């Protein structure tokens, strides 16, 4: 059981008011809030041992390096990677994806194919389009169904010996659908293709095991799992990370430099050019500690209760339509009120202190599929309460009355 009172005390921001009303924060799919335990780690870093890492003999630098590498180990253990050097610390999901896309630039040839899904975030579409332009490879798209699920029979048809890489999100940020990743990975491997999973939306709810999944690449951002912005990770199987060329040149990623020839450092440093987000990396580790102490099974069970309750109550509102009705989904609800623009509802909810996301959620192809400009998206975290769900329901009813 989750001790919600105690948990809410960990998040100072949940005590504030917005527009004279208590904050009801239901935009967790965009970014999560930060517990005091993680804030303390950030303050401690800048107060006590701020120094550059991997390059000083002095004590502060050693201390910062140790803490940073300790964070890498925490991330390794969390995702059950075989080796710590298979964890590359990046600025987030977007950079991790671009790193892999850049690397595949030197592995692909004209005629090769990349498969992505119709449920992707823009950060998962654009890098592959750029890669295809550069290499002459072709982009294929797994279509989606009305329920917001992937059409798996078309996926099977799209796979062939030409497929080099399959890229899907583990969970859709716009609809909350949990994709059948085990089957996606297994079928891709049979065709000889590598798989990259975007876990940005999955990691707040699920603890993925990259070895059990046998996935080739897995990426995520810390800021959706109670950590700071501007830091995230790329997990890659050693064999793949060795195959990919470095992403950026700079300090830290080299072994030797001369004007005749530069040799690159080994993993993970080959992909970590320049001074990283040191404090962010350490805080990322602390955020995983925080969430693991609560437990992902506990978190998921609690969030599912909120999801079921909110879904049931929202559907009682006449003219309200939910997009993304997969049985297998996380605590994200995308919806619209008939004849009312989502932006207007979002603006009124904000006046009531309720933070939701409105718009296309960086997933315009999904909105085009449903033929809508956008949705109102409420996304719940383990620190939200049933009372907050009730505030949302009341707010939506009020907004409907005012706007129709």
Ligand X SMILES: *Cc1c(COP(=O)(O)O)cnc(C)c1O
How near is the Cβ of 123 to ligand X at its closest, in Å?
A: 5
**Distance from C-alpha of 330 to C-alpha of 230, rounded to nearest angstrom:** 24
The two three-digit tokens of residue 338, written as one number: 């008939």
The reply to whether 27 sits near ligand X by the rule CB under 6 A is no
**Interacting span for ligand X (CB under 6 A) from 48-56, 67-75, 120-128, 318-326:** 120-128
> Closest approach of Cβ 25 to ligand X, in Å?
16
Q: Which is nearer to ligand X, 150 or 399 (CB)?
A: 150
If one asks whether residue 221 binds ligand X (CB under 6 A), the answer comes out as: yes
- What is the distance, to the nearest Å, from the Cα of residue 353 to the centroid of all Cα atoms in its chain? 26
Taking the complex as a whole, how short is the minimal distance between the CB of residue 181 and ligand X, in angstroms? Answer: 13
117 binds ligand X (CB under 6 A): no
Secondary structure of 177-220 in the HEC alphabet? EECCHHHHHHHHHHHCCEEEEECCCCCCCCCCCHHHHCCCEEEE
Considering only residues 198, 216, 272, 303, which one is a binding residue for ligand X as defined by CB under 6 A?
Answer: 198
Active site residue 362: yes
Task: Report the residue number, 64 or 88, with the smaller CB distance to ligand X.
Answer: 88
Beta-carbon-side half-sphere exposure of residue 162 (alpha carbons within 13 Å): 14
Residue 136 buriedness (CB in 10 A; 0-12 / 13-18 / 19+): exposed
Pick 22 or 365: Cβ nearer ligand X: 365
**Residue 65 or 123: which CB sits closer to ligand X?**
123
The CB-side HSE value for 160 (13 A sphere, CA atoms) comes to 9
Taking CA atoms, 372 is separated from 139, 207, 321, 338, 365, in Å, by 25, 33, 12, 11, 10
Strand 320-323's sheet: what is its strand order? 320-323, 332-337, 375-379, 357-359
Does residue 92 touch ligand X according to CB under 6 A? yes
The total number of residues shown for the chain amounts to: 404
Q: How many CB atoms lie within 10 A of CB 58?
A: 9
Interaction of residue 34 with ligand X, rule CB under 6 A: no
Query: What mask, x for binding ligand X by CB under 6 A, covers residues 137 to 176?
Result: --------------------------------x---x---
132, 203, 279, 362: the catalytic one is 362
The stretch among 10-18, 45-53, 196-204, 335-343 that binds ligand X (CB under 6 A) is 196-204
- Which is nearer to ligand X, 222 or 278 (by Cβ)? 222
Give 288 or 337: the residue with its C-beta nearer to ligand X.
288
* Spacing of C-alpha 184 from chain mean position: 18
3-state secondary structure 328-366: CECCEEEEEECCCCHHHHHHHHHHCCEECEEECCCCHHH
Least separation in angstroms between CB 92 and ligand X: 4
Instruction: Compute how many residues bind ligand X; rule: CB under 6 A.
Output: 13
Q: What is the DSSP letter of 245?
A: P
> From residue 121 to residue 140, what is the string marking binding to ligand X with x (rule CB under 6 A)?
x-xx----------------
Q: Are 283 and 362 in contact (CB under 8 A)?
A: no
For ligand X, which stretch binds (CB under 6 A), given 90-98, 304-312, 379-387, 394-402? Answer: 90-98
Between 92 and 395, CB nearer to ligand X: 92
In the list 32, 33, 34, 94, the residue contacting ligand X (rule: CB under 6 A) is 94
Q: In angstroms, give the least distance from the CB of 221 to ligand X.
A: 3
What is the dihedral sign for C-alpha 26, 1, 283, 71?
negative
> Rounded to whole angstroms, how far apart are CA atoms 125 and 371?
19
Q: Which of 232, 231, 230, 175 is nearest to 198 (CA)?
A: 232
Nearer to ligand X, 228 or 395 (CB): 228
Name the residues that contact ligand X, by CB under 6 A. 92-94, 121, 123-124, 169, 173, 198, 200-201, 221, 223
What amino acid positions are annotated as catalytic residues? Answer: 362
């Amino acid at each position: 059981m989750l001790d919600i009172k105690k948990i809410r005390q960990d998040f100072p921001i949940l005590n504030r008011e917005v527009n004279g009303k208590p904050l009801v924060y239901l935009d967790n799919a965009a970014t999560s809030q930060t517990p005091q335990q993680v804030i303390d780690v950030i303050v401690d870093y800048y107060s006590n041992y701020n120094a550059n890492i991997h390059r000083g003999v002095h004590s502060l630098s050693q201390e910062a390096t140790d803490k940073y590498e300790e964070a890498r180990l925490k991330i390794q253990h969390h995702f059950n990677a075989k080796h710590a050097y298979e964890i590359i610390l990046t600025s987030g999901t977007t950079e991790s994806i671009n790193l892999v896309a850049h690397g595949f630039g030197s592995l692909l040839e004209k005629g090769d194919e990349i498969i992505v899904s119709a449920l992707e975030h823009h950060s998962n579409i654009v890098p592959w389009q750029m890669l295809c332009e550069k290499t002459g490879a072709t982009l294929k798209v797994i279509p989606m169904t009305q329920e917001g699920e992937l059409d798996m029979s078309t996926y099977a048809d799209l796979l062939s010996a030409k497929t080099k890489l399959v890229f899907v999100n583990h969970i859709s940020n716009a609809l909350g659908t949990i994709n059948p990743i085990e089957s996606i990975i297994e079928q891709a491997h049979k065709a000889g293709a590598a798989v990259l999973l975007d876990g940005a939306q999955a990691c707040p709810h699920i603890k993925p095991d990259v070895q059990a999944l046998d996935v080739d690449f897995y990426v995520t951002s810390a800021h959706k799992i109670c950590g700071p912005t501007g830091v995230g990770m790329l997990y890659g199987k050693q064999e793949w990370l060795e195959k990919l060329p470095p992403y950026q040149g700079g300090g830290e990623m080299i072994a030797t430099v001369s004007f005749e020839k530069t040799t690159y450092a080994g993993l993970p440093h080959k992909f970590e050019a320049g001074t990283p987000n040191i404090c962010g990396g350490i805080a990322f580790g602390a955020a995983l500690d925080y969430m693991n102490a609560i437990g992902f099974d506990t978190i998921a069970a609690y969030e599912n209760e909120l999801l079921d309750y909110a879904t049931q109550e929202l559907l009682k509102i006449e003219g309200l339509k939910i997009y993304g009705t997969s049985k297998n989904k996380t605590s994200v609800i995308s919806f619209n009120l008939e004849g009312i623009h989502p932006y207007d509802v979002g603006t009124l909810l904000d006046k009531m202190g309720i933070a939701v996301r409105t718009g296309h959620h960086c997933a315009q192809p999904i909105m085009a599929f449903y033929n809508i400009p956008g949705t109102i998206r409420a996304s719940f975290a383990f620190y939200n309460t049933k009372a907050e769900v009730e505030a949302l329901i009341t707010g939506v009813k009020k907004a409907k009355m005012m706007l129709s």
